[in-house]
Amino acid sequence: MKLIHQNKFESNRWMIRARWFYAPTLFLMGLLSKLDPLGKNFFPVPTMLFLFFSFILLNIVFYKLVHYIESHNKQQYLNILATSQICVELLFFTIILHLSGGAESVAPIFFFIPIVSSIILFDVIGSLIIAFIAGVFVNLMVVLEYYDVLEDVPGYPGTGILSYEQFLVALTSTITITAVYFIVGSLAGYLSSVIKNRESQLSESKRRAQLQAERLRLLNEAYNSYARQLVRKDLDLTKQNERFSQLDKEKSEFVSTVSHQLRTPLSAIKWTLDTLLKNEESTNLTVEQRALLMKAFESNERIINLIRDMLGIDKIESGALGFSFIEINVVDLINNIIEEVGSQAERRSIKIVVNNPSELPKILVDPQKMRAVFQNLIENSLKYTRSGGQITINFAMKTSDSIQIDVIDNGIGIPKDQQTNIFNRFFRAENAKALDPEGSGLGLFIVKTIIKRHGGEMSFESEEGKGTTFHLTLPVHH
C-alpha cells in the first residue's frame, strides 16, 4: 500500500495528533466501565494503564520518526511508517477487544479508527484491506475463545465458557460487524477518493495560480526595473537635451555672429571687384589681370552664397525662419527667374521650356522662400545639364486642392546608389562633385524644408546620364 495523500508528512502527523485525543478517551471509557454495577469486567486497571502509556510512548516514537524522516529527506520510509501505525492500532484494539469481553463488548467499534485512518493514508483498496484484517481479528477472537485457545474474558456475569449457541450468535454478530467494516471502508474510501481527486484538482489550480502569480510578480519586478531604468534614462535624456539645446543655441549664435561678421567684408570685396571689372578702361587691366579678378569675384560670390545657405539652415533648424504668405501666380514667379538666368542658358545653348496651362489658380506662399526654391532647382538644372540640353517646367492640377510642378532636365542625373541621400545636408553625388567641385550640398535640403513648411511634398526621379525630374506638390488655398 502506498500513500496517496499529497502531503505525506501531514497525513502521518494527522494520525499522531488524533491519538492524543482518542487514546485518553478510550482509557477513560475503560475506567468508567469498572463502575458499571451490572458488569463483571475483568480488565485490570494496571493493564489499562500499561496499554495506555505504551500507546502514548509509541505515539511519541512515531512523532520523532516523522520529524527524523522529514529532516533527513527520507521520504521512501513514509509508507513503512504509515503501515506500522495502522498495524500498531490493530494490535492494541485486538488486545482491548480480548480483555473487554470479546465480540459482546463495545470494543469492535474501535476498529473503525484504523479503517478511517487507512482511508486518509491509502486508497480504497488499502482501506478494504485494513477492513478485512480487522474483520479477521474480530472473528478469529470468537473462534479462538470458543476452542479455548484464548480464555474467554466475559464483560458481564457468565461462566466464561461459550456454548455452541453462544458461539454461533457471537460469530454471526462479528460477521455482521465485518460486513459493516467493508461497507464503511468502501463507502468512506470512495468518498475519500472523490475528495482527494477534488483536492488534487484544487492543488493543481492552486499551483497554476501560484505559477501565474509568480509570473506576474516577475513581470511586475521586470516592469518596475524597466520603469526605473526609463526614469533614469529620461532624466539623462532631459539633461542631455538641455545640454544640446544650449549647444544648439550657442552654435546658432556663433553661426549668426560669424556669418554677419563675414558678410560685411565679403560684400565690400565683391563691390570692389565688381567696380574694377566694370571700369576696365580706367583701370587698364591686362587680360591676365582681368581673369584673376574674375576668379576672385566668383570665389567671393561662392563664399557669400555659402554663408547665405548656412544662415538659412540655421534659421530653419532653430525655427527662426519666418514666413509671410500671400497669393501669387507661380508661373509669373518662375518666368521672372528664367529671365534672370536667361543669359547663362543662352551662353551654354540650353533651352528652357515652360508649359503653362491656360487656367492655373494662385497659390498662397511666401514669395521670397518660393523664389529660392525654384531658383535653386533651375540653377541646378543649368549647372548639371550639358550644352545643347533642355530644361522643361510643367504645371498641372494634381487634385482640386493641389498643384504639381515638375522641373525636368536631361543632365547628368543622380547615381542610383546615392539617391537616398540626395536631400541630406552637405551631400553631393560623386558625378556632381566631379563636374562642379565648389557646391555646398545645402540647396536641396533647404528646398525640401521650405516645401514642407508650405504643406507641400517633394520627390524626384533620376537616371544617371539621362537626367532628373523633380516633382513639387503645393496646396491651393481658395
Q: What is the pLDDT of residue 158?
A: 47
Per residue in 346-384, pLDDT (tens digit) is 888 989 998 877 778 888 888 888 888 998 899 888 888
Between 75 and 419, whose confidence is greater?
419
Question: For residue 111, what is its C-alpha cell?
Answer: 476498529
DSSP 373-417: HHHHHHHHHHHHS-TT-EEEEEEEEEETTEEEEEEEE-SS---GG
What average pLDDT does the segment 192-215 reach?
Answer: 80
CB atoms within 10 A of CB 397: 14
Specify the pLDDT at position 470: 93
**In the prediction, which pLDDT does 348 show?**
86
Closest by CA position to 43, among listed 142, 158, 155? 155
Domain made up of 326-475: CATH architecture: 2-Layer Sandwich (3.30)
d(CA 368, CA 270): 23
**pLDDT higher at 436 or 226:** 226
Q: Is the pLDDT assigned to residue 77 strictly greater than 90?
A: no
Q: Residues 294-321: pLDDT tens digits?
A: 778 777 776 777 776 666 666 666 555 5
Q: Is the four-CA dihedral 70, 58, 141, 184 of positive or negative sign?
A: negative
The span from the first CA to the last CA of the chain, in angstroms, equals 95
Give the residue range(s) of CATH 3.30.565.10 domains in the chain.
Answer: 326-475
* Distance, CA of 174 to CA of 30 (rounded, Å): 21
What pLDDT does residue 312 have? 66
What whole-number distance in Å separates Cα of residue 166 and Cα of residue 154?
12
pLDDT over 70 percentage in the chain: 77
Task: Report the alpha-carbon distance of residue 255 to residue 307 in Å, rounded.
Answer: 9
**pLDDT band at residue 6, thresholds of 50, 70 and 90?**
very low
DSSP states along 169-204: HHHHHHHHHHHHHHHHHHHHHHHHHHHHHHHHHHHH
Q: What pLDDT score was predicted for residue 42?
A: 65
pLDDT at residue 282 tops 80: no
Question: Pairing relation of β-strands 402-409 and 457-463?
Answer: unpaired
- Rounded Cα–Cα distance for residues 181 and 136 (Å): 11
* Residue range 403-455, pLDDT digits in tens: 899 999 998 899 988 888 888 877 888 888 777 776 677 788 888 888 888 88
Residue 455 is which amino acid?
A: G
**Helix (H) or strand (E) run with residue 121 in it:** helix 112-121
Q: How confident is the model at residue 167 (pLDDT cuts 50, 70, 90)?
A: low
CB 338 within 8 A of CB 350: no
- Stronger pLDDT, 469 or 291, i.e. the higher one: 469
Instruction: Quote the pLDDT of residue 469.
Output: 93
Higher pLDDT, 188 or 402: 402
Query: Which three cell numbers mark 444?
Result: 536641396
**Alpha-carbon distance 107 to 101, whole Å?**
8
Per-residue model confidence (pLDDT) at position 57: 92
Predicted local confidence at residue 392, as pLDDT: 92
Q: Would you call 2 helix, strand, or coil by DSSP? A: coil
The dihedral over CA atoms of 127, 133, 136, 140, expressed in degrees to the nearest 10, equals -150
| R_g (Cα) of the chain, nearest Å | 55
b/e per residue, 413-433, with b = 16+ CB within 10 A? bbbeebbeebbeeeebbebbe
What gap in Å lies between CA 460 and CA 406, rounded to an integer?
9
**Burial letters 77-96, b for 16+ CB under 10 A, else e:** ebeebbbebbebbbebbbeb
For helices 367-384 and 443-453, give the axis angle rounded to 10 degrees: 150
Reading the block at residue 149, the C-alpha cell is 485457545
Position 159 confidence tier, pLDDT thresholds 50, 70, 90: very low
Residue 254: pLDDT band with limits 50, 70, 90: low
Average pLDDT, the chain: 78
N residues, the chain: 478
Distance CA 83, CA 80 (A): 5
The stretch 215-229 carries a mean pLDDT of 86
Q: Are strands 326-328 and 402-409 parallel, antiparallel or unpaired?
A: unpaired
The three three-digit cell numbers of residue 94, written as one number: 485486538
- Return the closest-CA partner of residue 275 out of 300, 312, 247: 300
Q: Which three cell numbers stand for residue 365?
A: 506662399
Among the listed ranges 104-113, 173-182, 247-256, which one has the minimum average pLDDT value?
Answer: 247-256
